Amino acid sequence: MAFHRLEKLINLHDGYRQLFRVEHLQLLLIQEKGQRYLLRNMCPHKGFPLHTGTMTGTKLRCAYHAIEFDLARAGSCVQHPLQPGVKMYALLYEGSDVGVEL
């Protein structure tokens, strides 16, 4: 496993949203209300990108099908809890950087 730097901590703020390509994955880093979330930028419902979705509290709503995922609850699907949620990744901090280990 290797650490992949995504962003400098100083650049993060509420409303932050940025896409990153790490290895073969497209990841989305979001900060809302002081909380940071890193997830795969793909809706598990139909594979559409999630970076165009809207945040309400801890919930990210897919812009294409209005399915919501609770990022504070491991990306679980709000409307259909037994359906697959969005893939979440743990953020790692190294000095003044935030990143992911893959």
> How high does pLDDT run on average in the chain?
96
Q: For the domain that residue 59 is a member of, what is the CATH number?
A: 2.102.10.10
CB 51, CB 41: distance < 8 Å = yes
Total Cβ atoms within 10 A of residue 85: 19
| SS3 state of residue 71 | helix
pLDDT value at 9 more than 90? yes
pLDDT of residue 52: 96
pLDDT cut 90: percent of the chain above it: 93
pLDDT of residue 61: 97
pLDDT of residue 42: 97
Structural domain harbouring 20: 3-101
Number of domains making up the chain: 1
pLDDT of residue 81: 86
pTM confidence score: 0.94
CB 60, CB 69: distance < 8 Å = yes
- Taking alpha carbons only, the member of 38, 27, 31 closest to residue 12 is 31
CB 40, CB 86: distance < 8 Å = yes
CA distance 86 to 78: 11
The secondary structure of residue 13, as a DSSP letter, is -
pLDDT value at 99 more than 90? yes
pLDDT value at 46 more than 90? no
